[in-house]
Structure 1
Amino acid sequence: MNNTPSPFELWVLDVNDFFWSKLLIVLLIGVGLYFTFRSKFLQVRLIPEMLRVLMEGRSSKKGITPFQAFCISMAARVGTGNITGIAIAIHLGGPGSIFWMWILAIISSVSAFIESTLAQIYKIKDGDGFRGGPAYYMEKGLKKRWLGILFAILITLSFALIFNAVQSNTITLAFEQAFDTNRFVVGIIMVVCFAFIIFGGIKRIAKMSEYIVVILAVLYIAIAVLVVVMNITQLPGVISLIVKNAFGFEQVAGGTLGAIVMNGIKRGLFSNEAGMGSAPNAAATAVTSHPAKQGLIQAFGVLTDTLIICSSTAFIVLFSNVYKTTNLSGIELTQASLNTHIGSWASALLAIMIFLFAFSTLIGNYYYGETNIEFLNGGKVWLSVYRVAVLIMILFGSVAKISLVWNLADLFMGLMVVVNLLSILFLSKIAFAALKDYMRQRKQGKDPVFYRDSIPGLDGIEGWEDSPSKRNLEKHNA
């Protein structure tokens, strides 16, 4: 097999090097730190409130619940990024990349709050309830529909097509490794199963996501806890290894510190998606009384995804010496590491889990594309074309060369981050005003309720009603 990169692949690698070694690291950390200080460390002080709001949003007869919207976004977050991506980061950047992944998650969780709160504020009504996301707040908040169109195209190409090819590729590789299955046959099975779900509508997507994500996350964390308990004496040493490798003199002197930071941030972003503009598409669908509630839930999702689920994979890999003694990467490295802990049958177990993890990610990714197709005013014909294209890319990814697919994913992910982060930076004052309104009502012992006129001067709002006082005034004047 010829592994020499094509001219196109080399071009993609050059662009990615610029994005990830320079522009994106400055943007992600700089904007995240600004939001962190402006919100007075929201990601730490409001964790109890995040948990309260998440549990509050378990039931709704009006549409997608906040918990289901959380699960749709987690379905896209919790997937190959948590299992394959973390192993790739360790393989390329060493244990220290995990430290920078943690740092990115903590800083960027406030960016997730900002983007999801904005998505709620600027959401619009549709036949299934609500829809929204970056394209919508770019159009209505920034008054730049062309920017919304650009983002809608980027996220549709990225998530629904390229990222879904990454997911299907990982599934077929895992099954080939564990069961020696034919990758094309597994791809056909995935296409059939996925077609059943995507032609069933958003409520079926939400329900499937809720069940799959909760069960898988609990099961995977349980396995990781078992591995940690079995290797508890190594835990202090592994944590010390991660920190030392992140700042160690050897890494600086060897010129590899940049690779450690870059891989930690790149793979961390692929996993938690904070600031990328993907999760707000799911956040906008929730029926909730205040936009800040969904913002808090999504911020909690970033922390959960990285600090718990990604760390689970990191400990599984680092507790074994496989990453030192072999050249394995990705899902094969995680499978081999788990084999050393709980036996050779672990490879088969992880293959099944990665199928379900990645399949749940396909669901979330698909929805992100669908809601943006609607933003572009695509009719039923375009929606059908989009669905067929998604199924084709899943089949393509199941047999494609993995390196090109991952590099393309990094490229489009970088483009999305630039467009979205700059947009939410300019709109952040609105999200902070919503947070101030939310906290004011909470201090008064109320269940916060948001109205169209809760923030003075706000316009372009379709998904929220006027306050009772404004309605009474308008009725009196009439």
Structure 2
Amino acid sequence: MEALVSTVNNIVWSPALVVLCLAAGLFYSILTRFAQVRHFREMVRLLFSGSESAKGISSFQALAVTLSGRVGVGNIAGVAAAIGFGGPGAVFWMWVVAFLGASTAYAESTLGQIYKVEDQGQYRGGPAYYFEKALGQKWLAILFAVSAIVACGIFLPGIQANAVGNAVTHVFGDGNIVSTDYGEVGSNKLIALAIILIVLGFIIFGGIKRIAHFTQIVVPFMALAYIIMALVIVFLNLHKVPGIFALIITDAFTAQAGFGAAIGWGVRRGIYSNEAGQGTGPHASSAAEVDHPAQQGLVQAFSVYVDTLFVCTATALMILITQQFNIQTEDFNVLAGTGTMIVQNVDAATEVASPAFTQLALSSVFGNFGQGFVGVAIFFFAFTTILAYYYIAETNVAYLNRYFKGNISLTLVKFVIMFMVAYGTVNSSGYIWNLGDIGVGLMAWINILGILAIFFVAKPAILCLRDYEAQKKAGGPITFDPQKLGIKKADFWEKRLAKQRAEEQAVKNEKTDS
């Protein structure tokens, strides 16, 4: 089974997908005239504007939910894997993916807002919704919805849970060994699993509002604390920083692990971490209460910066400055004596696709506190990511229920997520990471091709940006009229605008009568 998963993973993550991700980011960067740079100030301003409503969440809450999906194990274990298999140069390609991917994130999240719907008292949207409305292709919408449910409901939660289990074991040891149907598992890992399942169940049975309120507190706090720890290490080793950046940049083009490995692992882990183009971000973005779709698109572009340029870079600098890493070929096996160890700074048996390098880096400076801190960070990063995955799966089940007359149980989805968290915790990380990569790759293939097709059909995301820029230049007020822009089937916004105009007319009539 593991060999089959590895084969499928290699097919999904062929060089074609790497090229597609980079090309799509460059394509939208040029079309938006590099909005991710021009509107940086506006991104920050929009973070704290607006508020939640009875049906939607605020822009900041939507950002927090999205970041809970973006900022996860990929920022800690994923960066370590990129360096371990692709060399320091892989970090450069993660930066490239983030910079270009910010424009892709703008496009997909703006599309999510344009074509969102009101469903049972809350806003919902995402690729399935905009594929149906913008392209008129229900089969593509259903294909994405199924892929998202499989990826976010089955494949991806296990990665987050597995990393938590490994981090706990690294800090506290295995504890008593317990025999299970999945092999022998340490009692400490099982305790961590029990805590995750109890808290997870409490939150996901409370819906998007409870998820948003939890993540808006936890995610910013943990991300800031993590970056501060990294900055302390950087400050203590300032003389090494120029050399580390030079190593990353030079190795990106003459990689120790091979040029292709650096690009492949950098792009793969970059997309897994920041999720730009993957189609996950639009789900939370669509739930936001905003005046114009472009506003949430810009906020989501900023979230890519937070994830990769801040948090992932923090991890990379800690690992590279402290030299707590190895570089090896993917088939390296210390027990079998196969594969090649290209660079060895730590024990050859150290698991590459795990938080181990990061924990070693922090413990080399902060001792046991460093190991414990990474364990706590992984717990919260992974836990909030699982919450984001649940919401994505739920949204796509809600979409499918429009055609299956509500016969797919959301309660069943909740229990499937919880089962996969348990399964992922007690299984090997290499196997779980490959499953996660397949999920990410499938969603990326469908979503990127889909948003490119939407551009050639109607250009809604670009028209939206130009409209928002024109209104800002004119001094406002900010409104969105899809019909004026020639955007069709933006039903939610058409009804909202009609309601606003009716209310304005009623006020005028009252003044006239008085």
Question: What's the TM-score bracket when you normalise by the shorter of the two chains?
Answer: over 0.9
Q: After the TM superposition, which residues 358-377 of structure 1 pair with which residues of structure 2 at under 5 Å, given as runs?
A: 358-377=382-401
1:456 and 2:486 matched = yes
Q: Secondary structure at the match of 1:286?
A: coil
1:69 and 2:62 matched = yes
The normalised TM-score by structure 2 is 0.86
Q: After the TM superposition, which residues 352-431 of structure 1 pair with which residues of structure 2 at under 5 Å, given as runs?
A: 352-377=376-401, 379=406, 382-428=409-455, 429-431=459-461
Further displaced range: 12-21 or 31-40 = 12-21
- Using the TM superposition, give the Cα deviation of residue 184 of structure 1 relative to its aligned residue in structure 2, in angstroms: 2.3
Alpha-carbon distance in structure 2 between the residues aligned to 1:371 and 1:408 = 21
Match of 2:224 in 1: 218
Q: Secondary structure at the match of 2:48?
A: helix
Alpha-carbon distance in structure 1 between the residues aligned to 2:477 and 2:267 = 37
Further displaced range: 437-446 or 62-71 = 62-71
1:204 and 2:210 matched = yes
Question: Structure 2: which amino acid aligns with 1:203?
Answer: K
Q: In 2 relative to 1, CA 463–9 (structure 1 residues): closer, same or farther, beyond 3 Å? A: farther
Alpha-carbon distance in structure 2 between the residues aligned to 1:125 and 1:96 = 45
Question: Structure 2: which amino acid aligns with 1:64?
Answer: I
Q: Deviations over 1:194-220 (max 9, x none)?
A: 101111121001101111101111111
Further displaced range: 457-466 or 73-82 = 457-466
Q: After the TM superposition, which residues 256-405 of structure 1 pair with which residues of structure 2 at under 5 Å, given as runs?
A: 256-323=258-325, 324-326=344-346, 327=348, 328=350, 329=352, 330-377=354-401, 379=406, 382-405=409-432
Match of 1:434 in 2: 464
Alpha-carbon distance in structure 2 between the residues aligned to 1:233 and 1:423 = 46
Match of 2:97 among 68, 80, 104: 104
Q: Which runs of 5+ in 2 are unaligned?
A: 176-186, 326-343, 506-514
Q: Secondary structure at the match of 1:396?
A: helix
- Using the TM superposition, give the Cα deviation of residue 336 of structure 1 relative to its aligned residue in structure 2, in angstroms: 0.8
Match of 2:20 in 1: 27
Asked whether the 8 Å contact 1:21–1:258 carries over to 2, the reply is no
Q: Percent identity over the alignment?
A: 38
Q: Secondary structure at the match of 1:376?
A: helix
Alpha-carbon distance in structure 1 between the residues aligned to 2:121 and 2:498 = 26
Alpha-carbon distance in structure 2 between the residues aligned to 1:316 and 1:341 = 10
Alpha-carbon distance in structure 2 between the residues aligned to 1:463 and 1:402 = 44
Alpha-carbon distance in structure 2 between the residues aligned to 1:384 and 1:61 = 23
Q: In 2 relative to 1, CA 128–86 (structure 1 residues): closer, same or farther, beyond 3 Å? A: farther
Q: Secondary structure at the match of 1:141?
A: helix
Q: In 2 relative to 1, CA 466–214 (structure 1 residues): closer, same or farther, beyond 3 Å? A: closer
Match of 1:185 in 2: 191
Q: In 2 relative to 1, CA 411–62 (structure 1 residues): closer, same or farther, beyond 3 Å? A: closer
Q: Deviations over 1:123-169 (max 9, x none)?
A: 00023420000000011111111111111111111112211111010
Count of aligned pairs between the two proteins: 462
Q: In 2 relative to 1, CA 389–311 (structure 1 residues): closer, same or farther, beyond 3 Å? A: same
The normalised TM-score by structure 1 is 0.93
- Using the TM superposition, give the Cα deviation of residue 14 of structure 1 relative to its aligned residue in structure 2, in angstroms: 2.8
Q: After the TM superposition, which residues 94-173 of structure 1 pair with which residues of structure 2 at under 5 Å, given as runs?
A: 94-173=87-166
Alpha-carbon distance in structure 1 between the residues aligned to 2:6 and 2:125 = 32
Q: Secondary structure at the match of 1:453?
A: coil
Asked whether the 8 Å contact 2:51–2:289 carries over to 1, the reply is no
Q: Secondary structure at the match of 1:391?
A: helix
Q: Deviations over 1:312-364 (max 9, x none)?
A: 00011001122141233220111011111222321112111211111111111
Asked whether the 8 Å contact 1:130–1:463 carries over to 2, the reply is no
- Using the TM superposition, give the Cα deviation of residue 176 of structure 1 relative to its aligned residue in structure 2, in angstroms: 0.8
Match of 2:183 in 1: none
Q: Deviations over 1:365-407 (max 9, x none)?
A: 1100011110010637611111111111111111011111110
Q: Secondary structure at the match of 1:103?
A: helix
**Higher fraction of helix:** 1
- Using the TM superposition, give the Cα deviation of residue 9 of structure 1 relative to its aligned residue in structure 2, in angstroms: 2.6
Question: Structure 2: which amino acid aligns with 1:308?
Answer: F
- Using the TM superposition, give the Cα deviation of residue 31 of structure 1 relative to its aligned residue in structure 2, in angstroms: 1.4
Question: Structure 1: which amino acid aligns with 2:411?
Answer: S
Match of 1:57 in 2: 50
Question: Structure 2: which amino acid aligns with 1:325?
Answer: N
Q: Deviations over 1:64-97 (max 9, x none)?
A: 1111011100001111010110011111111000
- Using the TM superposition, give the Cα deviation of residue 469 of structure 1 relative to its aligned residue in structure 2, in angstroms: 11
Match of 1:3 in 2: none
Q: In 2 relative to 1, CA 405–444 (structure 1 residues): closer, same or farther, beyond 3 Å? A: same
Alpha-carbon distance in structure 1 between the residues aligned to 2:7 and 2:223 = 36
1:236 and 2:266 matched = no
Question: Structure 1: which amino acid aligns with 2:314?
Answer: S
Further displaced range: 57-66 or 349-358 = 57-66
Alpha-carbon distance in structure 2 between the residues aligned to 1:392 and 1:370 = 15
Aligned CA RMSD, in angstroms, stands at 1.9
- Using the TM superposition, give the Cα deviation of residue 62 of structure 1 relative to its aligned residue in structure 2, in angstroms: 5.6
